[in-house]
Chain A
Amino acid sequence: MKKYLGPLSKENPILVQVLGVCSALAVTAQLKPAVVMALSVTVVCALSNLIISLLRNTIPSRVRIMVQLLVVSSLVIAVDQFLQAYVFEISRMLSVFVGLIITNCIIMGRLEAFALSHPPVPSFIDGLMNGLGYGLVLVVVGTIRELLGSGTLWGCQVVPQAFYEAGYMNNGLMILPPMALIIVGVLIWILNAKQNKVK
């Protein structure tokens, strides 16, 4: 069991392996789209790992990238249609980034590194855990940015009005895209510092 928990901290795809940063950080200005994005990636990652692992003995290795891309993009289309049908607002907010899940390096990376050489059930769990590890970072960054940037969480006001009257101001910088990168940099710093202490 322990080996599957790695992606949540020690082998976190974003913080340690630097995978899948591409489409992720732009959606973390608020918590809600970040959570939806995290769930979408987890679903796609787990299911594509499962499917590729089931097919792993029939795919010729020369065309495997193409097959992987087709499986992943079909899943992403399904997720995209689902989001448009049930949470249209958020799907508008995420705009092109749902589509960009296709080229998310975590998914391709796990397919290449794990699903092609392991049976279906472990592959499914591996995909799930990597998706969750990715989601965890997204949610942490989303929480920090929304709390400090707009004083809200999940769209509800958290910072009390009395604070504003006492002169507290939202940090507008947090809403800007570059802050996501700086927050992730600091998270990496914290993680590294913690691990060095454990050693």
Chain B
Amino acid sequence: MSGLGELFVRSALIDNMVFAYFLGMCSYLAVSKNVKTALGLGIAVCFVLTVTVPVNYLIDKYLLQAGALSWMSVSLAGVDLSFLSLIIFIAVIAAMVQLLEMVIEKFSPALYQALGIFLPLIAVNCAILGGSLFMQERHFPTVAHSFSYAVGSGVGWLLAIVAFAAIRERLRYSDIPKGLQGNGIAYIITGLLGLAFMAFLGF
């Protein structure tokens, strides 16, 4: 059970989803007009990542990996289903999002109101699928590691979008060259934020 804390910090700051891998950029650029909605989407992403990554970890470990089926019977030990992982992961994510939507609607209408519009969008957010794929690539030893990684990545994403939204709010009052207004400056700010985050790597 060692290294969980480091893994959390590492995935939140150093391997930040947005700045190091450009994951979830579409919604990151589209839903960062003000801090409040950015916070809503950030929390939703955090939430869905935390649920889907450990679930996909278990599926990967006990069903899909090479030799993963050996717990069922010895004759299945040679089976390698890992080529199916893409389709299974995306199905799990879509199903989980649907399920979460229903659960939240039932138990916390207030939260549902706040997240409502964002939840369905999340099924096709690359950050979520990316989380599962990176989890598969890094071969975490236990499910606790994958959980820590998921929370860390989610928090990192949340941090990125809230910081970016706050900058964009201030940007309204600044004088930007005409051709650069809108998307152009948004990309450049993200790049600069990314450079700032590189500092965590020790550059």
A residues apposed to B, CB below 8 Å = 15-16, 18-26, 65-66, 69-70, 73-74, 76-77, 80-81, 95-96, 99-100, 102-105, 108, 176-182, 184-186, 188-190, 192-193, 196
Contact = CB atoms under 8 A, between A and B. Distances in A.
A135 B191 CA distance: 21
Contacts of B20: 177
B129 A196 contact: no
10 contacts: A16-B183, A69-B91, A69-B94, A73-B86, A77-B87, A80-B83, A178-B195, A181-B187, A181-B190, A188-B187
Given A103-B126, A104-B126, 10 more contacts: A22-B24, A77-B86, A100-B23, A100-B129, A103-B90, A105-B26, A176-B195, A178-B194, A185-B183, A189-B179
Contacts of A177: 19-22, 194
Contacts of B134: 96
Given A108-B124, A189-B177, A180 B22 contact: yes
B185 A178 contact: no
Contacts of B119: none
B198 interface: yes
Given A177-B20, A192-B179, A21 B25 contact: yes
B22 A24 contact: yes
Contacts of A180: 22, 191
A182 B188 contact: yes
Contacts of A22: 22-26, 126
Interface of B: 19-26, 29-30, 83-84, 86-87, 90-91, 94, 123-126, 128-130, 133-134, 137, 177-180, 183-188, 190-195, 198
Contacts of A74: 87
Given A18-B29, A177-B19, A189 B86 contact: no
Contacts of B133: 96, 99-100
A60 B118 CA distance: 23
The 5 nearest A-B residue pairs measured at CB? A178-B194, A185-B187, A181-B191, A192-B179, A185-B188
Contacts of A179: 191
> Which residue of B23, B94, B123, B177 has the most chain A CB atoms within 10 A of its CB atom?
B23
Contacts of B192: 178, 182
A122 B84 CA distance: 31
> Which residue of A18, A20, A81 has the most chain B CB atoms within 10 A of its CB atom?
A18
Contacts of B180: 185, 188-189, 192
A151 B67 CA distance: 44
Given A69-B94, A177-B19, A188-B183, A99 B86 contact: yes
> Which residue of A73, A103, A180 has the most chain B CB atoms within 10 A of its CB atom?
A103
Contact of B19 (A16, A21, A70, A178): A178
Nearest to B187: A185
Nearest to B95: A66
A85 B191 CA distance: 35
Nearest to A178: B194
A38 B194 CA distance: 24
B184 A188 contact: yes
